Amino acid sequence: MSADTLFRRITDYANRANPYPLYAELRERRAACQEDGSYLVGTYHDIAALLHDPRISSDRRNRTVPDHDLIEAPGIPAAFIARDDPEHERLRNIAMRPFGPPHSANRIDAMQGEITVIAKELIDALQGRHRIDLVDDFAYPLPVTVICRLLGVRREDEARFRAWTEAVIAGVDPTPGSDPAERQRAAVAARMAMGLYLGDLADNRRGKSADDMLSAFVNDPGPDGSFTRPELMATAVLLLIAGHETTVNLITNGMLTLLRQPEALERLRREPALMPRAVEELLRYEPPVHMLPQRTALTDVEVDGVTIPKGAPLILVLASGSRDPKRFRDPDHFEPTRRDNQHFGFGGGVHICFGAPLARIEAQIALTELIRRLKAPRLVEDPPPYRRSPILRGPRHLPLEIAGIEA
């Protein structure tokens, strides 16, 4: 098999349940040029260097190859995840002001009690059931409720967000075979609808004091100024989408991994204080974000003897780097007490995940409560049915049999 089809095989849905042998192949090849002119990188040290390299852009407008996938929604610019410094830094600082340090240092920690109550109520609602879908019954509603409260969005509108979010994510799905132009049109329409909805909501908050992020964006400008309306729409859409999909997959991948490793599950049940480290290990071993498909070289960049030409698309396969045996001891082994665990679960460099403190707390609380309260949980299907996306990878459903619910 020649190097140029590796990406096609990685994105092939047939390999979704276990892409890791393909990542091992990728690490052997270092920077692998694909049939469409993009470059795949999968070793830990190359990824780490490229994540911190200012010659690598997150802005796809810098691509010189035809970028058919790039259709921006009229009236809504790309969000800061897809922009470079200094624009990225200004927008990220404004978005961070009501979310984390230095201005709102306690914001996320203060949500722990509320997140525990949401998790408890979702599990209480499973009383009397012997078969559940962990995704629909728990892993999806938990982070969605949390991000809606944080942003100040009505929970009743959740069904609309779900459809919009799915359309936006399908728009960046690189799996060949499906109609990319059609998916792009649907993604653009969904981003616009979502942006307009969130923009109107923020407008209604002007002049009213409340502790949600949309209110803060319109009422509390900081040293970096405030968003223009299009910037606000783009940022709110990004936060809502990021808060929807990734954490769902971390919780679901987490339960799947623990149910496959009953000893680890038992140990965490007995010693819940180990959970923060177990969640870090999950972010390394079964991460929700498998690759960053948006990078572009701003100039010719040499990676281990291969020149990635200026303007070429560069795909950093984070999940491969986090399993690199040159960096991690016994990397294909799930070790919930692992130390020395600088994984790429949240990326790295200036774009490192903005929501990481929230995602960590949500996953720790979710998994602690699930293993404490689900009696004799058992996987019904292994592997479970996966979502389509090879980028945001996780089960679409995780059917479990349970013997009941602990009080």
Q: Is 238 in the site for ligand HEM (CB under 6 A)?
A: yes
Q: Which is nearer to ligand HEM, 220 or 381 (CB)?
A: 220
Q: 221-230 long-range CB contacts below 8 Å, 24 or more apart?
A: 222/93, 222/94, 222/97, 222/103, 223/93, 224/90, 224/93, 224/94, 224/97, 225/90, 225/94, 226/94, 227/91, 227/94, 229/199, 230/75, 230/76, 230/77, 230/195
Binding range to ligand HEM, per CB under 6 A, among 183-191, 286-294, 298-306, 334-342: 286-294
Q: Is 296 in the site for ligand HEM (CB under 6 A)?
A: no
337, two tokens = 């007490």
Binding range to ligand HEM, per CB under 6 A, among 114-122, 240-248, 258-266, 380-388: 240-248
Q: Is 81 in the site for ligand HEM (CB under 6 A)?
A: yes
Instruction: State the nearest-atom distance from the C-beta of 357 to ligand HEM, in Å.
Output: 9
Q: Which of 347, 377, 384, 390: binder of ligand HEM (CB under 6 A)?
A: 347
Q: How many residues bind ligand HEM (CB under 6 A)?
A: 25
Q: Which is nearer to ligand HEM, 185 or 349 (CB)?
A: 349
Please enumerate in sequence order all residues whose Cβ is within 8 A of that of 162, keeping only pairs 6 or more positions apart, or say none.
Answer: 144, 244
Q: Is 253 in the site for ligand HEM (CB under 6 A)?
A: no
Q: Which is nearer to ligand HEM, 54 or 404 (CB)?
A: 54
Q: Name which of residues 90 to 109 contact ligand HEM (CB under 6 A).
A: 92
Q: Is 250 in the site for ligand HEM (CB under 6 A)?
A: yes
Q: Which of 11, 38, 57, 58: binder of ligand HEM (CB under 6 A)?
A: 58
Q: Which of 23, 80, 138, 334: binder of ligand HEM (CB under 6 A)?
A: 80
Q: Is 171 in the site for ligand HEM (CB under 6 A)?
A: no
The whole-angstrom distance between residue 157's C-alpha and the CA centroid of its chain comes to: 22
Q: Is 353 in the site for ligand HEM (CB under 6 A)?
A: yes
Instruction: State the nearest-atom distance from the C-beta of 243 to ligand HEM, in Å.
Output: 4
Q: Which is nearer to ligand HEM, 99 or 197 (CB)?
A: 99
Phi-psi region of 34 (alpha: psi -120 to 50; beta: other; left: phi over 0): beta
Q: Which is nearer to ligand HEM, 149 or 185 (CB)?
A: 149
Closest C-alpha to 217, from 88, 197, 225, 144: 225
CA–CA separation, 233 vs 229, rounded Å? 6
Q: Is 246 in the site for ligand HEM (CB under 6 A)?
A: yes
Q: Which is nearer to ligand HEM, 174 or 355 (CB)?
A: 355
CA–CA separation, 194 vs 199, rounded Å? 8
Phi, psi of 302 (to 5 degrees): -95, 130
CA–CA separation, 266 vs 271, rounded Å? 9
Token match 């919930």: residue? 336
Instruction: State the nearest-atom distance from the C-beta of 164 to ligand HEM, in Å.
Output: 16
Q: Is 351 in the site for ligand HEM (CB under 6 A)?
A: yes
Q: Is 254 in the site for ligand HEM (CB under 6 A)?
A: no
Instruction: State the nearest-atom distance from the C-beta of 242 to ligand HEM, in Å.
Output: 3
30, two tokens = 């270092």
Q: Which of 232, 242, 370, 400: binder of ligand HEM (CB under 6 A)?
A: 242
Phi, psi of 137 (to 5 degrees): -85, -20
Q: Is 359 in the site for ligand HEM (CB under 6 A)?
A: yes
Q: Is 23 in the site for ligand HEM (CB under 6 A)?
A: no
Q: Is 153 in the site for ligand HEM (CB under 6 A)?
A: no
Phi, psi of 56 (to 5 degrees): -105, 125
Phi, psi of 24 (to 5 degrees): -65, -40
CA–CA separation, 355 vs 247, rounded Å? 10
Token match 């790429």: residue? 344
270, two tokens = 């007995």
Q: Is 291 in the site for ligand HEM (CB under 6 A)?
A: no
CA–CA separation, 297 vs 121, rounded Å? 47
- Chain residues binding ligand HEM by CB under 6 A are 58, 80-81, 92, 238-239, 242-243, 246-247, 250, 287-289, 292, 294, 345-347, 351, 353-355, 358-359
